[in-house]
Structure 1
Amino acid sequence: MASVTPPHPTTGPAPAPRTLDRREGPYGEVVLRQRDGSPAGPGAPAARVVYEIIANGCFLMDTSDGRSERLLVDAALAALPAGRARPAVLIGGLGVGFSLARAAEQPRWGRIAVVEREAAVIDWHRTGPLSDVSAAALADPRCEILHTDLVAHLRADAGGDTYDALCLDIDNGPDWTVTEGNDTLYSPTGLAACHDRLTPGGVLAVWSAQPSPAFEEALRNAGFSGVRTEEIPVVRGVPDVVHLARKGA
């Protein structure tokens, strides 16, 4: 989930975002909005359009930056054993598409699966304005969208698919979930499911809007090793972070 870029101080109040689509689904309301991005300053070219996803009134992410979503994938790939060929990655969820697009740019990945529970978000990528971010990735034969709930997918019956990396970004972090059911992902049973879905030596990467020492401890208690946190500076506030952990070989 990317932080909102504040308006440039010389431009005055930014125009109100425009709602492009609003839908009610099994998990509540999801909204796609459009706003003008912040120009570089006086005399700069017109700002590009920025798209925002809002779920149940909570800002999730926008297309203003994307550094932290890209780092989520970069850090997971870098943490994998160097000799592992064509690793499989599961990205949860689709969001504005930066993580998926980043993975598709990297030839080392083999299978690239992304889990998204909101049909509206998938539609915005396949036939809507978010295709600007994800069109090339969705045309890549390595990539597929799984329309399902991430927690349910990870907890599916034994014998389900395993992955070399799990890159999870469905909340504003372990301490700030979008819906109540998501908190089970960061619980002992949820982390056990993540551990089970990873191949030996596989990597779990979890995006968060702020560091969480309690989550780091939970990862260690769940049997992960090499637990660490990478920070991504943002325009304002505390840095975004990616929590990283590895399953034993």
Structure 2
Amino acid sequence: MTPRELIGTAEVPGGPPLRLFRRGADFMIVLDRNELMSTRMSGSEVALGTMTCARLAGRPASRLLIGGYGMGFTLRAVLERLTADAQVVVAELVPGIIEWARGPMAEMTAGCLDDPRVTLDMGDVADTIRRADSSYDAIMLDVDNGPDGLTRPANDGIYAARGLAAAYRALKPGGTLAIWSAAPDPVFAKRLVKAGFAVEEERVRARDNGKGATHVIWFARRP
């Protein structure tokens, strides 16, 4: 087996550092011993983008917020489906993630961060959401490992009642809050309903070939 090569380390505000590894043509972002994401398992991140766009059909000049750039799978999926008049804000807390996207993973990034429809907001997506008022047609959150936070304790606030209330206010009427999770969470699903959302729960595979672990995406619509 080809050994993993450590490419770089990125500091996470309020949390342990992330490490980028390469094995052959594949990249992996790792926290401690947990593989958070990899180029081999992009199916559910792509689905987050494609399934959200499907719910925006007919909305002109859509404005979207993506919380967490990751490896850019969701962003690229969204850009492939949005019209030229759309706007996408990408909120990313970790500068090292963007440095990797523009550096060792530049070929995979394929210039998506330089798309004229994209605005990069370096900071906590929770702050971006709090500043908004009926601003977005969709908010996509792929932050941490889902509601059961892993990367940094402060992420828990995004999924708490106050965080969901802020997301509700940030959406336009009829807008969608889409949340990726590594596993089901019935308590969190009930919290979405309590926050006033109409909720759909979708199960998607980790790999784009329909194999691998099953992940969860909640689509919570503001009535």
TM-score calculated relative to the size of structure 1 = 0.81
In structure 2, distance between residues paired with 1:177 and 1:233: 21
1:26 aligns with 2:13: yes
Write the distance in 1 (CA, Å) between the matches of 2:173 and 2:63: 13
1:169-248 correspondence runs (5 A): 169-225=142-198, 227-234=199-206, 235-237=211-213, 239-248=214-223
Q: Does 1:97 align with 2:72?
A: yes
* Contact 2:10-2:94 at 8 Å conserved across structures: no
**Partner-residue secondary structure (3-state), 1:59:** strand
Q: Which runs of 5+ in 2 are unaligned?
A: none
Q: CA RMSD in A?
A: 1.8
Deviation string, structure 1 residues 110-146 (Cα, Å, up to 9, x no partner): 00111101010111112x1222232331231001211
Q: Does 1:132 align with 2:120?
A: no
Q: What is the alpha-carbon distance in structure 1 between the residues aligned to residue 146 and residue 173 of structure 2?
A: 25
Q: Write the distance in 1 (CA, Å) between the matches of 2:134 and 2:5.
A: 40
**Separation in structure 2 between the aligned mates of residue 160 and residue 18 of structure 1, nearest angstrom:** 44
Distance in 2 (CA, whole Å) between partners of 1:216 and 1:243 is 8
Shift of 1:58: 3.4
Aligned residue for 2:22, secondary structure, equals strand
After TM superposition, the score normalised by the length of structure 2 is: 0.90
Measure, in 2, the Cα distance between the counterparts of 1:233 and 1:57: 22
Once the two structures are superposed, the pairs formed by residues 60-71 of structure 1 within 5 Å of their partners are 60-71=36-47
> 1:233–1:224: structure 2 CA closer, same or farther, 3 Å change rule?
same
Q: Does 1:152 align with 2:140?
A: no
Distance 2:17 2:216 in 1: 27
- Uncovered stretches (5+) of structure 1, i.e. residues with no partner: 1-13, 37-48
Partners in 2 of 1:154 and 1:75 — Cα distance? 21
Task: Give the CA deviation at 1:65.
Answer: 3.2
The alignment of Structure 1 onto Structure 2 pairs a total of residues equal to 217
Equivalent residue for 2:29? 53
Tell whether the 8 Å contact from 2:91 to 2:122 is kept in structure 1 after alignment: yes
Q: In structure 1, what residue type is equivalent to 2:200? A: R
SS of corresponding position for 1:68: helix
Q: Which runs of 4+ in 1 moved over 6 A?
A: none
- 8 Å CA contact 2:89–2:121 kept in 1: the answer is yes
Aligned equivalents of 1:244, 1:142: Cα separation in 2: 23
Residue of structure 2 equivalent to 1:117: 93
Using a 3 Å threshold, how does the CA distance of structure 1 residues 111 and 105 change in structure 2: closer, same or farther?
same
Cα gap change, 1:145/1:107 in structure 2, threshold over 3 Å: closer, same or farther?
same
The 8 Å contact of residues 144 and 151 in structure 2, kept in 1 or not, is answered as yes
What is the CA-CA distance between 1:160 and the residue it aligns to? 5.5
Give distance in 2, aligned partners of 1:170 and 1:132.
24
Deviation at 1:25, TM superposition (A): 4.5
Deviation at 1:51, TM superposition (A): 0.7
Higher strand proportion (structure 1 or 2): 2
Return the structure number with greater relative CO, CA threshold 8 A, min gap 6: 2
Structure 1 residue 55, shift from structure 2 partner: 3.3
- 1:231 partner amino acid: R
